[in-house]
Amino acid sequence: MQVILTQDVAKLGRRYHIVEVPNGRALNMLIPQGLAMAATPENTKRIKAQSDKVASERAEAAAAFHAAVEKLDGEAVTVAVNANPKGHLFEALKEDAIAAALNEKGVAVEPTHIIIAEPIKEIGTHEVNLSNGEERIALNLEIVAA
């Protein structure tokens, strides 16, 4: 029986793929658990439209990410935080604070795109990564006391 996967299924396929499975597996496991639906012409059209929409949204997000990276172009971004006289932060710098500093600079970046390898707890220059899926770009942060 041919089914359209509505979610990724281990050892079977990825979301929106049409796969051939035994009738028992489709009717007893995949369809009742919401992992797949029958590959009727109507369902195939609907899934095709959904996958096209998702692909276009991913392309738009990738273009926005590249535009943001081009605006930064190796510049250091300054983030002002509360710190003690010894230069230690009262709390580790979070992705939200970095995203806010980037937005003030005119670069729209989601906090989920920022990857901090080690917690930032001191004033100084630190490096974080901007990620959009498999692509990673290094970003220099200058942490200063507010």
pLDDT in tens, 3-54: 999 999 999 999 889 999 999 999 999 999 999 999 999 999 998 998 899 8
Q: What pLDDT band is residue 94 in, cutting at 50, 70 and 90?
A: very high
- Evaluate the CA torsion angle 61, 63, 68, 69 in order and state its sign: positive
**pLDDT for the residue 1:** 94
Cα angle 30-36-39, degrees, rounded to a multiple of 5: 120
21 C-beta neighbours (distance < 10 Å), count = 18
Query: What stretch(es) of the chain map to CATH 3.40.5.10?
Result: 2-59
Residue 73 has pLDDT above 80, yes or no: no
| DSSP at 27 | I
Residue 129 has pLDDT above 80, yes or no: yes
Closest by alpha carbon to 82, among 72, 94, 91? 91
Q: Write out the two tokens for 80.
A: 């002002």
CATH code assigned to 69-145: 3.10.430.100
Is domain 2-59 classified as CATH 3.40.5.10? yes
**pLDDT for the residue 63:** 86
Task: Tell the residue number behind the tokens 């935080």, with chain if given.
Answer: 81
How many angstroms separate the CA atoms of 81 and 92, rounded? 10
How many angstroms separate the CA atoms of 107 and 137, rounded? 14
Query: What stretch(es) of the chain map to CATH 3.10.430.100?
Result: 69-145
